[in-house]
Amino acid sequence: MSGEASAPPVASPRTPRPGIQKSSGSVAKKGDRGAKEKPATVLPPVGEEEPKNPEEYQCTGFLEVDFAELCTRWGYTDFPKVVSRPRPHPTFVPSASTSEKPTIDDQRLSGSCSLNSLESKYVFFRPTIQVEVESEDKSVKEIYIRGWKVEERILGIFSKCLPSLSQLQAINLWKVGLTDKTLTTFIALLPLCSSTLRKVSLEGNPLPEQSYHKLMAVDSTIAHLSLRNNNIDDHGAQLLGQALSTLHSCNRNLVSLNLAFNHIGDEGAGYIADGLRLNRSLLWLSLAHNRIQDKGALKLAEVLRPFELTHTEVVERRRLLLEKGSQERSRSPSNSRHGDSKPEREKNQLMGVSSFAVVDKTDKTQAMKTPKGLGKKKEKLGEVVKKEEKSGTGQSPTQGTPKKEDSTKASKGKVTIPEQKPGKGKGTKSGSKEKRSILLESELVGEATEMVNPLLEPVEHRDGKVFMPGNKVLLHLNLLRNRITEVGLEAFLTAVQYQVQFSKSKSASKGPVGLLWLSLAKNYFSPQCPAYAMIQELMLPRDPISKAKHREEEAMASS
């Protein structure tokens, strides 16, 4: 106490205002300027004046360095390390020298069981940020975080260091204790990341408010979204279905959606089916391991074949047709007055299909005059956006001009690639071909869906009702291990039969139309059921994987 009492007189002439004992310490350490001691010792050399504010740090693009530096500046003393994702061991292939292998394995096993290696074994369970890097320039391609709680502050650090990763393609968060609040923070940082980020996986993160649909907003650029094992129920499915499409909005970038291992029942499946009515971008959907019964199966099957438009959809369709017709007339040159006045008279007299036919006429004449706009108008009048991607551009009424467009925009090159890519799942950008396929897919989804509203597809009139041709964009549907009986099975058989018949009638098309892969195994019906056998028989020739295997077998047999 006497030492503390004697300290103020020494410091008081120099610092008369603050008479606190902390001021004497600050005088004794002039050079420190109140800096924190721990960051000063842990900080790696950055090549600048060591600013203490995290806002002042300029990220280098090396996640390991940036994350450690920012964690230190934010006051973390113990934080997860950035490590390379462990590769699975290659499967053991028996060879001529199998006699030597057991001895080497035994030595390795005995070495790994020593006491010295126990500590290294437990390192596996420490929180880490696993990354996959490009083999060429070592840039981070994918991020995996598993089994430790990601808090708001950690997300704040990610918002600083992730934007500098120019090749980032995927973020995978598995059981990281997300909340509705931290999910909102996570969604806010996604637009800051590179435009190459297309895949997000949030598995094992159940949320009370089930706000996953915010990841599928209209302006979202996510192409592949996995929400497995999140306890999503019918309410969550309703929000997701509305995010897929409503009468006035539609997600145009999402290509694959994984909702397996959730609690979605008939009502939720109905909401998902409603979202598929006017969605023309989703190619891959998994509802495996849910609680869907026949009622939900009937709803999903109904969307895959011609379905009746509701009254509000019919009204919206007529409004769009009139709006489209007036736009086309305002764009068309007034060279022939008779050409302008006749469609106008017809429009005043008739509505519905006749008005669509009038629009068709004006479009054709306009297409002859303005080749540049042909692609847009042709897509508006074509059947489905994705159908045109698959069928190629050669089926336009005016066949001379599209070739010119193909040579300038290389639209033929865009046609066939994306069908194969989403079927395989998540594409990577490691090779030049894969890079090209992802870029082309984004162009297709971005351009084509921007131009066409599904309500403008050609329709059928039966008994005073309007029928749309159904969703033929969805290529992959997984309903494994639900509760569907033979009643739901019959509905899917009818849908598959229609799609097979439709694709045969469009034999000139260059790409597939409708489902290529449908899984209904492990449901509440016998595998020997005739309807199930018929579905498998119809789907087998359409499955691209079985086709590839068949070709390989034929090649092996011929060789």
First-to-final CA distance of the chain? 96
- Picking from 145, 120, 177, 184, the residue whose alpha carbon sits closest to that of residue 67 is 145
Structure tokens at 318: 């007529």
pLDDT value for 54? 59
| Apex 379 CA angle, 374 and 382, nearest 5 | 120
Rounded Cα distance between 559 and 303, Å, is 45
State pLDDT tens for residues 96-142: 444 444 444 444 444 444 555 655 666 667 889 999 998 877 899 99
Given a cut of 80, whether residue 348 has pLDDT beyond it is: no
Rounded Cα distance between 475 and 478, Å, is 10
pLDDT value for 134? 86
State pLDDT tens for residues 302-315: 999 999 999 999 99
pLDDT value for 60? 87
User: Greater confidence, 456 or 419?
Assistant: 456
Please report how the helices 63-73 and 152-161 are oriented relative to each other, as an axis angle in degrees rounded to 10: 130
Instruction: Output the pTM of the full model.
Output: 0.67
Q: Looking only at Cα atoms, what is the longest distance across the chain? A: 109
